[in-house]
Amino acid sequence: MIKSILLAIALSITVGAVAQTSNTKESWTKLFNGKDLSGWKQLGGKAKYIVEKGEIVGTTVVDEPNSFLATDKNYDDFILELEFKVDPRMNSGIQFRSESKAEYQNGRVHGYQMEIDPSPRAWSGGIYDEGRRLWLYTHEYNEPAKKAFRNNEWNRYRIECIGNTVRTWVNGIPAAHLVDDLKTTGFIALQVHSIGKPEEAGRQIRWRNIRIQTSNLKPSPENGIFVVNLVPNALTDAEKKNGVKLLWNGINTDGWRGAYKKAFPEKGWKIEEGMLRVMPAGGGESTNGGDIVSEEMFGAFELQFDFRFTEGANSGVKYFVTEQEQNSGSAIGLEYQILDDAKHPDAKEGVVGNRTIASLYDLIPSLKPGQAIKKPGEWNRGMIRVHPDNRVEHFLNGYKVVEYQRGTPIYQALVARSKYAVWPNFGMAEKGRILLQDHGNAVDFRSIKIRQL
């Protein structure tokens, strides 16, 4: 009798497992049949795409723009998995929710891309906005993901697009977490990047086991990686679990006051359409409404903020502001510089560019590629990360552009040759306030968030 019961249980478990496996398989649809390119079309450049040994093979061709092998169908919410092996001298990517329209740059492919980056930069799995906003999620936000990609081997990618959330994995390692409401529908495409030298022709990337789910989607459990949230003044559940909170609520002046003052300035600042706006007043430092500071003080933290400057504007975000120093101008503190480098004369002052955008003002220049800087009138994403061991990092639009450590001999030497040399123990407070600077120029802030480390 006992043997019969055990046998029945075993059969039940086996049948259940088979049924579960079967259902899982049935929920996936193959995007590539392993034989030909049915269901796909080529867009952009004329790189070569063929089918060989059950794999799609893309080959570089000189003097051609980026090439894309795109699905005939469009997809909005989906889970995509595929495998690829790439020549380590190439760059490539997987487009998704992408488009090609005649009215947009003569049909240029544009949309989200999960990066394939075999270079030492190691941003494979990051999210790039091809033909539009460029980098949205780099691995400067998520350092462990840099080790997930395997050169000269087959790699497995997973993309989850559900609602306004995009998440990626490289070989099972969480790579990116993006929240964005710009676009939700488009094709999937396999990219062969353009090349400029004849000796780069003939390099190949291979794709296989391309499959998709489009119904009964279940997002993977939260994994605690950094979240880039492009929805203004909003927090997702994932951000809240990570300990992120809004430092400015996007509605009123709660949590903020004027520097050296008990209340928020009566003039010079305006809250409008979810923006905290500095009103123009001719460019004088703290001569209009004056700087504003957070009521709360912080030690180790991660501060995120979006900012938008007008042509020729100057402003800044300061941290470790104590208001103990008596200063006729802006309150004293370490400063993340906000500046129109092209039009404001301060960009040429200081030493080796240490007054340019995202620099540690008057101390350390920001090292940034040209595409890291948005034009006046466009939104930038800034971040300041202060570790418990006093290491500090500045980020600009996904690029880490400054890195230093408070209190080291090098730091002290930089202070000694700067305008801050007259202030004892400059920048060394255990805790301080966050400051937004009124420099008399029109600058907008939003999505000001903080996480204590």
Domain CATH number, residue 121? 2.60.120.560
Asked if 328 and 441 sit in the same domain, the reply is yes
- Residues 6 or more apart whose CB falls under 8 angstroms from that of 419 comprise 362
The count of other CB atoms within 10 Å of the CB of residue 88 is 9
Are 113 and 161 contacting, i.e. CB atoms less than 8 angstroms apart? no
Confidence at residue 371, expressed as pLDDT on a 0 to 100 scale:
87
Nearest to 97 by CA among 76, 125, 73, 124: 76
Cβ proximity of 70 and 108 under 8 Å: no
**Per-residue model confidence as pLDDT tens digits over 179-194:** 998 977 999 999 999 9
**Residue that terminates a domain, selected from 182, 213, 244:** 213
Closest C-alpha among 328, 323, 399 to residue 357: 399
**Given CA atoms 285, 290, 296, 301 in this order, what sign does their dihedral have?**
negative
Dihedrals phi, psi of 391, to nearest 5 degrees:
-70, 140
User: Is the same domain home to 291 and 153?
Assistant: no
Stated pTM of the model: 0.91
Question: Is residue 146 located within the same domain as residue 255?
Answer: no
**Does residue 338 sit in the same domain as residue 409?**
yes
Average confidence (pLDDT) over 40-67: 97
pLDDT band at residue 286 under the 50/70/90 scheme: low
pLDDT above 50: residue 292: yes
Residues 200 and 61 grouped into a single domain = yes
Residue 287 has pLDDT above 70, yes or no: no
Q: How many domains is the chain built from?
A: 2
**Rg for the chain, CA atoms, rounded:** 26
Helical H segments across 89-242, by residue range = 237-241
Rounded Cα–Cα distance for residues 134 and 44 (Å): 18
In a domain, 448, yes or no: yes
Q: What pLDDT score does 358 carry?
A: 98
User: Once rounded to an integer, what is the mean pLDDT over residues 83-108?
Assistant: 97
Q: What are residue 11's phi and psi, to 5 degrees?
A: -65, -40
Asked if the structure places residue 326 within a domain, the reply is yes
Query: For residue 17, what pLDDT is reported?
Result: 39
Summarize pLDDT for 132-167 with one digit per residue, the tens: 999 999 999 999 999 999 999 999 999 999 999 999
Residue 10 within a domain: no
Q: Scanning the structure block, which residue is given the tokens 């799609």?
A: 56
153 in a structural domain: yes
CB atoms within 10 A of CB 221: 6
Classify residue 431: in a domain, yes or no. Answer: yes
pLDDT of 282: 66
DSSP string, 76-112: SSEEEEEEEEE-TT--EEEEEEEE--TTTGGG--EEE
Mean local confidence (pLDDT), 401-410: 98
Do 208 and 237 sit in the same domain of this protein? no
Give 341's strand partners: none
pLDDT at 131 over 60: yes
Residues 336 and 417 occupy one common structural domain: yes
Average pLDDT over residues 300-329: 93
Please give the single-letter amino acid code of residue 384.
I
> Do 198 and 262 reside in the same domain of the chain?
no
CA–CA gap between residue 163 and residue 328 (Å, rounded): 50
Alpha carbon of residue 226 to chain centroid:
9
Q: Is residue 221 part of a domain?
A: no
pLDDT (average), residues 291-300: 97
Q: Domain check: are 389 and 258 in the same one?
A: yes
CA angle 275, 279, 282 (to 5 degrees): 150
Following CA atoms 113, 274, 355, 434 in sequence, which dihedral angle do they give, to the nearest 10 degrees? -110
Nearest alpha carbon to residue 90 among 193, 191, 197, 173? 193
36 and 82 fall within a common domain: yes
**Average pLDDT score over residue span 288-315:** 96
Longest Cα–Cα distance of the chain, Å, equals 93
- Angle 234-95-395 from CA coordinates, rounded to 5°: 45
Same domain membership, residue 248 and residue 205: no
| Mean pLDDT of the region 35-54 | 97
Picking from 179, 213, 247, the residue at the C-terminal end of a domain is 213
Residue 440 has pLDDT above 70, yes or no: yes
Mean pLDDT in residue range 331-346? 95
Alpha-carbon gap, residue 204 to 252, rounded angstroms: 55
**Residue 56 is assigned to a structural domain of this protein:** yes
pLDDT at res. 281: 79
Would you say the C-alpha torsion 400, 404, 410, 414 has a positive or negative sign? positive
C-alpha count within 13 angstroms, C-beta hemisphere, residue 51 = 11
Which tokens belong to 381? 């994403």
CA distance 420 to 432: 17
Q: Average pLDDT for residues 442-448, to the nearest whole number?
A: 97
Full residue range of the structural domain in which residue 64 is found? 29-213
In a domain, 318, yes or no: yes
Do residues 169 and 268 share a domain? no
